[in-house]
Amino acid sequence: MNTYPEPLVMYETENTPYIHLDKEQEIFKIGGKALPENTQVFFAPVFQWVDQYIENPNNKTEVAFSFEYLNSSSLKNILILIKKFDQLHKEGYDVVIHWNYLEEDEDMYEEGLGFSEEVDVPFEFHEFHDFPKN
């Protein structure tokens, strides 16, 4: 029996980020613009997927965040998500957060830096010249 949660793929829209979470393929990517009308409704399936993943995680989890824009309520939800991965890290699993940002986007770098200071999970910062497309 397959013990993996089914992959979660949500396509990017004008106001919502792309989400690609796939335990079997070891893909954990979230990015784009995050300004959904109702962040609780938008992020609910993401939290549900991650909670299910945490019950039976891979030995190593590398999560890539690549945001062009985050509104304030999305920032709060991303922090909740990062804290879920931080808990996994505290339980002894190998977890790394990759925070990707455009080189001229000092604000997005600062957001990632702020997140990294609130958790113990290791952050790696990656600067891009052009925003990566999925």
The CATH number of the domain where 30 resides is what?
3.30.750
Is 27 inside a domain boundary?
yes
Is 3 inside a domain boundary?
no
Is 12 inside a domain boundary?
yes
List, as one string, the DSSP characters of the chain. ---SPPPEEE---SSS-EEEEETTTTEEEEEEEE--S-HHHHHHHHHHHHHHHHHS--SEEEEEEEEEEE-HHHHHHHHHHHHHHHHHHHTT-EEEEEEEEETT-HHHHHHHHHHHHH-SS-EEEEEESS----
pLDDT digits (tens, 9 = 90+) for 71-123: 999 999 999 999 999 999 999 999 999 999 998 999 999 999 999 999 999 99
Domain interval for residue 109 = 8-128
Band of residue 1 on the pLDDT scale cut at 50, 70, 90: very low
pTM here is 0.92
